[in-house]
Amino acid sequence: MSLIVARCVTNSGTNVINSDVLQSEEKMALKVEVAVREFVFDGHTLPDPDSSMSVERVREMYMPSHPEITTAEVVGPEFVDGKMRYTFNRAIGHKG
């Protein structure tokens, strides 16, 4: 079973079916690119371990080697040089 929806519009006093309008318009090509993620902490770029991981999961993966990342604020994504950059900013606080 097929469903065909035709909509009639008025264009300068002339009735035109939407499929006629769509067929007469120029086709536009779209280019889709996947942006690479980049993580920055303490001025160092950290590689993206797996693009399917959430940002929180990436943070958890880096916790053993960078304990301060645990309380860091995540900023981003920001598009820098064609990459999606996530920055982990250290939380500022006082000890003791």
What digits encode the pLDDT tens for the residues 22-76?
A: 555 567 788 887 889 999 999 999 999 999 999 999 999 999 999 999 999 999 9
Closest CA to 49 of 57, 41, 72: 57
Tell whether 57 is covered by a domain. Answer: yes
The verdict on pTM exceeding 0.75 is no
Tell whether 8 is covered by a domain. Answer: no
Tell whether 23 is covered by a domain. Answer: no
**Contact, 88 vs 39, CB < 8 A?**
yes
Going by the DSSP 8-state scheme, the letter that residue 10 receives in this structure is E
Tell whether 16 is covered by a domain. Answer: no
Token duo for residue 28? 């536009």
- Residue 8 confidence class, pLDDT cut points 50, 70, 90: very low
**What are the CB-based long-range contacts (under 8 Å, 24+) for 73-77?**
77/37
Rounded average pLDDT over 80-91: 92
- Containing domain of residue 52, as a range? 36-89
Number of domains in the chain: 1
Tell whether 50 is covered by a domain. Answer: yes
Tell whether 6 is covered by a domain. Answer: no
